[in-house]
Amino acid sequence: MQLTFEEKYEAIGKKESLYEGIFVTAVKSTKIFCRPSCRARKPLAKNVVFYETAEEALKHGYRPCKICRPMEPEGNTPDYIKDLIKLIHKEPYNKIKDWDLKEMGLEPSHIRRWFKANHNMTFQAYQRMIRINSGYHQIQGGESVINAAFDNGFESLSGFNDGYKKIFGDSPTKTKDKNVILAERFVTKLGPMFVCATQDGICLLEFTDRKMLESEFKDLCKRLDAVIIPGKNKHIQLAKKEVKSYLTGNLKDFTVKLDAPGTEFQQSVWKVLRKIPYGKTWSYLDQAKKLKKPKAVRAVANANGMNRIAFIIPCHRVIGSDGNLTGYGGGLPRKKWLLEMETKNR
């Protein structure tokens, strides 16, 4: 299941994040090593050697690239961004403009690029979302809509209502009794992820580059009659801790509670998925037989594809009947890495 030299070399040309944590690229002519998604010019194949980890590249005399910084976790949040986000949460009513950023010694264009790349929205949109979320909590606590609007820096009630509808899909008065899904972005050795949870458990754990992510968010909101807002609870904290331990080979069984809505058939498929032993693989046919529905292989595969909770509901342990790897929402390179990691540590 190891990637070939040709597969790795092709991957660095695409500058994708799917291969983060799987290998680093070392360039013999410059003695520099990079992460797979580095934006630097692609080196000639004859000058390239691949290592599994940054530490291994360092031991062979290579220096970390100053552009992609392979010694730092991919997607990690710089301290100045953390401070900025803390300020936004602490003072949601305070609109931070380009002039304010420059006064803080920050370059506005750099801030805009970071928020667009890591949160898929502009810096101003992020601020607006936090102000509206703050207003949402006030309304949930019994505050009037107009007070929530002006307390959070909105100059008009209509501006607050319009922004509120864009995020929550309805007016403030109609969402007062909706459930809440908390969401947090965090960094793993295989790339950044989103973890979402209700008060009952984890409902989503996905890589931020998953193509279906936006659809999954919308489906969750619909199924749980909920709104998604930034935040954390005990389930999110435990999930982050267990994911880190799992990816370092130190955890085989997750204990965090789940709240995974789906059809009756999907629920039955996901239940069987959780029975696949750590470090083992089943085929879709094996899954179908466990469900006593041997002819439902395609339906089982579709249900696997609708799983929103990576690792914990381990759809990466399902392969084709011929032994070949099949599709995985996090990308086949990550699937290969996970299976090899589990085989090594079982």
d(CA 46, CA 29): 10
> Which ranges of 18-156 does DSSP label H, i.e. alpha helix?
54-59, 79-90, 98-103, 108-119, 123-140, 145-151
Alpha-carbon Rg for the chain, nearest whole angstrom, is 22
The catalytic residue among 34, 38, 65, 68 is: 34
Q: How far is CA 106 from CA 88, 100, 180, in A?
A: 15, 9, 34
Among 181, 188, 151, residue whose Cα is nearest residue 76: 188
d(CA 92, CA 130): 6
Residue 315 designated active-site: yes
Task: Give the relative orientation of helices 297-305 and 264-273 as an angle to the nearest 10 degrees.
Answer: 80
d(CA 290, CA 275): 10
The catalytic residue among 38, 65, 203, 315 is: 315
- Dihedral pair phi/psi, residue 241, rounded to 5°: -65, -45
Among 274, 277, 286, 270, residue whose Cα is nearest residue 323: 286
CA 248 to chain CA centroid, nearest Å: 18
Kindly report the number of other CB atoms within 10 A of residue 144's CB atom: 13
Backbone CA torsion sign across 18, 214, 253, 245: positive
Among 303, 274, 265, 300, residue whose Cα is nearest residue 285: 300
d(CA 187, CA 301): 28
Residue 68 designated active-site: no
Q: Which residues are catalytic?
A: 34, 315
